[in-house]
Amino acid sequence: MRRFAPLAGLVILLAALSFSARADQGKTDGSSPLLVSSAKVECSHKRKPAEPLDPPSTAAIPRAEAFVASRHFKEDIAPTAPVKISWLGASFVRRFTIKAETAEDTSLQTHALNKPSNAAQIASELGARAESKLADVWCLLRLQASGESGALQTGAAPNIFFVRDGMGDLGVVDVLWGGAGWEIGASPFASPRPWIAGTRVFSP
């Protein structure tokens, strides 16, 4: 019997190593990234939307000046509207339309949300570069004023930005194409509400 003891021990050792490898593999498979980065969008505040765009994803605010949110974010679906907006949420109006910012050229990274997650989880994944400006949101909206294809998705899943409100508190601004115009809402950063998989997240 002793002659087979080393062989038996080897079998046990190999079985243990195999189990450990399978466990590690399962751990790896179960920890898929929360966000998958995609295209980057250059947003220029010095170029008019009607001008040729280079690169193709570049949008614009007419002049580099103070961006006053209340002058831009208005419910208006007329053909002449600079951006067709069919609905502004009460929380967005109260917290964000009182803002004034300095409009600066910026580059926004797009990310696809892999699994349902709340704002805190998403921001933690983004790290220090989570915060955008309202001017950035408007810049992208102008490029897709009537729901055209572009960086902002126009399907059932929303687009979200982390933006500080008029009091300096971080919140979530969500943008969704509703058919007649854009629907823009806002929610507290601390809300436990999960955003659905497929949500497009923007960050500087």
Alpha-carbon distances, residue 195 vs 112, 117, 145 (angstroms): 11, 5, 24
For the segment 143-168, the average pLDDT, to the nearest whole number, is 97
Q: Are residues 172 and 138 in the same domain?
A: yes
Tally of domains in the chain: 2
Q: Are residues 107 and 21 in the same domain?
A: no
Q: Are residues 78 and 138 in the same domain?
A: yes
Domain that holds residue 84: 34-203
Q: Which has the minimum average pLDDT: 36-40, 50-54, 76-80, 113-117?
A: 50-54
Q: Are residues 9 and 55 in the same domain?
A: no
Is residue 5's pLDDT more than 60?
no
The pTM of the full predicted model, rounded to 2 decimals, is 0.77
Q: Are residues 83 and 160 in the same domain?
A: yes
Count of other CB atoms within 10 angstroms of residue 117: 20
Q: Which has the minimum average pLDDT: 17-31, 35-49, 92-106, 176-190?
A: 17-31
Q: Are residues 61 and 85 in the same domain?
A: yes
Backbone angles phi, psi at 87, to 5 degrees: -160, 135
Between 56 and 143, name the one with better pLDDT: 143
